[in-house]
Chains A and B, each alone.
Chain A
């Protein structure tokens, strides 16, 4: 498990309390607590963190202050634009809702990665964050390609287990709106299933090649 994640789990209550001082809505507190984790873990992917607890608290405080400033400003702006009609507010809150949802998913995925043992976590991060190929990961970790591939595969398997344990069904999770029907057609036809799986791979290679 990443040291930031361990410190986060041990101090989650205290981090929430920092945000509770400034924000009354529980959703805001949830969102900012998750955001703190995402930021700190991101930093950990590229650097050694020496004091994870202090790191989390400092990040939380910075975030609380900058968000409070932002909230305050947007409220005053609504007042100033006295045409602050319902439509306008609805639009703003709807898009905020959507981005919040994306952020929540990012937090779940990030926690799944953070829970992995170091070698597996690093291999998976190189593949999905840095977009390296297996051969490049093998060279960086100084292991065979087979080991590198196995680490990424095992990491994916462990992430899946982590997400299931956390009560998320990956089949419903983070899916684009059109995906469920595509999934159905794949399940119905053997042939189209194979070709669609191959298409995935083709899409991947043409994007990156």
Chain B
């Protein structure tokens, strides 16, 4: 109401009717004016006069008023555009466009450049078969998991919200874990060491199975289930230096099956883990999150990785509560339901991507 009063002096709001248009077009112009919420009294009077002039005017207006209200539903498009899936698709689109430009330029630059394109194709697609060679990027969305069979026969389970680049050549198998977590079952091949790079950290194996998880920019956690791996750190431990025979750098540590380590520039902790505990830690590979006595704060951090939601704990005394149980990785509603059961707390929605855990008794 106040908005309308202040708008009275806006006489420049010329009555938007043009004689050449049909009644329908006039009606639409009126809809826009009247639904803007700031029509002056003069404008309202002009509208009433127009509206009451004929049945045709009224019908045209009412029909469009209904449609205008129906269009309120499209407000949802804004939310959908902000969703994780949309953002992921857009990132992919930008990435693809970049390669597309390079391809187009090469094609236009003639024969010499076409040759360069051919090399590009050999590297980035399967057109030229080379079983020992692979250049690929694999990525998962929040809550998504993927199993990837690599060109050398190794298998990778990629956990939620993770990304890895695979660069295999005849002398080395290099994987870059750009974010997230992955479990590797490495096909034994002594001639081609298998290295997982996580920032400046490197985990190197021959024939073994292990999980690597990035804990932020610097820190990496490694869990070995089979065989033995070596841990390296620092910029000088680049792909090249690892490839060179003889120039093998000193590892920070070597880990045997059944152990877990966290390291950045140095090894921070190493622990022996019982087989059952390892199974719990790596249960995500089977689509299950398993907890055996972890603190609620840890559980909540884990769930954030799989749901993309910000999860707050309403009062600090709950944070140390221990949690045991299983939940299926999948729709976050189901995961929260499982958390409610395990913790005896209530999950209250604050916004689309933010929830708070509160005491079940408080409403």
Q: A106-B73, A205-B4, A206-B1 are in contact. Are A43 and B90 (CB under 8 A)?
A: yes
Indicate with 1 or 0, residue by residue over A33-70, a CB within 8 angstroms of chain B CB atoms.
00000111111011101110011001100100010011
Indicate with 1 or 0, residue by residue over A179-197, a CB within 8 angstroms of chain B CB atoms.
1000100110010011001
Report how far A202 CA is from B66 CA in the complex, Å.
15
CB of B58, distance to nearest CB on chain A (Å): 6
CB of A193, distance to nearest CB on chain B (Å): 6
Judge whether A10 is part of the interface by a CB distance below 8 angstroms. no
Q: A45-B77, A154-B25 are in contact. Are A51 and B93 (CB under 8 A)?
A: yes
- Which residues on the A side are within 8 Å of B80 (C-beta)? 38-39, 42-43
B37 in complex: contacting residue of A59, A133, A153, A171, CB < 8 Å? A133
Judge whether B247 is part of the interface by a CB distance below 8 angstroms. no
B76 touches A106 (CB 8 A): yes
- Which residues on the A side are within 8 Å of B331 (C-beta)? 70, 73
Indicate with 1 or 0, residue by residue over A145-162, a CB within 8 angstroms of chain B CB atoms.
110011011101101100
- Which residues on the B side are within 8 Å of A170 (C-beta)? 63, 66-67, 70
B72 touches A128 (CB 8 A): yes
Nearest A-chain residue to B48, judged by Cβ = A194
Report how far A46 CA is from B81 CA in the complex, Å.
7
- Which residues on the B side are within 8 Å of A197 (C-beta)? 34, 47, 51, 61-62, 65
Judge whether B16 is part of the interface by a CB distance below 8 angstroms. yes
A129 touches B32 (CB 8 A): no
A175 touches B66 (CB 8 A): yes
List CB contacts (< 8 Å) of A63-122 with chain B: 66, 69-70, 73, 102, 105-106, 109-110, 113
Q: A47-B90, A145-B13, A209-B2 are in contact. Are A160 and B81 (CB under 8 A)?
A: no
B77 touches A38 (CB 8 A): yes
A58 in complex: contacting residue of B35, B81, B89, CB < 8 Å? B89
List CB contacts (< 8 Å) of B73-116 with chain A: 73-78, 80-83, 85-86, 88-90, 92-94, 96-97, 100
Report how far A69 CA is from B331 CA in the complex, Å.
9
A109 in complex: contacting residue of B2, B36, B74, B334, CB < 8 Å? B74
Report how far A170 CA is from B85 CA in the complex, Å.
32
Report how far A102 CA is from B52 CA in the complex, Å.
34
Report how far A50 CA is from B98 CA in the complex, Å.
10
- Which residues on the A side are within 8 Å of B90 (C-beta)? 43, 47, 49
B61 touches A208 (CB 8 A): no
Report how far A127 CA is from B34 CA in the complex, Å.
13
Q: A50-B94, A58-B92, A146-B14 are in contact. Are A152 and B32 (CB under 8 A)?
A: yes
Q: A42-B86, A73-B328 are in contact. Are A179 and B39 (CB under 8 A)?
A: no
A-B contact pairs, 27 of them (CB 8 A): A45-B78, A45-B81, A46-B82, A50-B97, A51-B97, A62-B85, A73-B330, A102-B73, A125-B74, A131-B75, A133-B38, A145-B13, A146-B14, A153-B29, A156-B32, A159-B67, A163-B67, A179-B66, A193-B62, A194-B48, A197-B34, A198-B47, A198-B48, A201-B39, A204-B34, A204-B37, A208-B37
Residues on B lying within 8 angstroms of A by beta carbon are: 1-4, 13-14, 16, 24-25, 28-29, 31-39, 44, 47-48, 51-52, 55, 58-59, 61-78, 80-83, 85-86, 88-90, 92-94, 96-97, 100, 141, 144, 328, 330-331, 334
The 9 closest A-B pairs by CB, nearest first: A205-B37, A50-B97, A174-B70, A42-B80, A153-B28, A42-B81, A209-B3, A201-B34, A42-B77
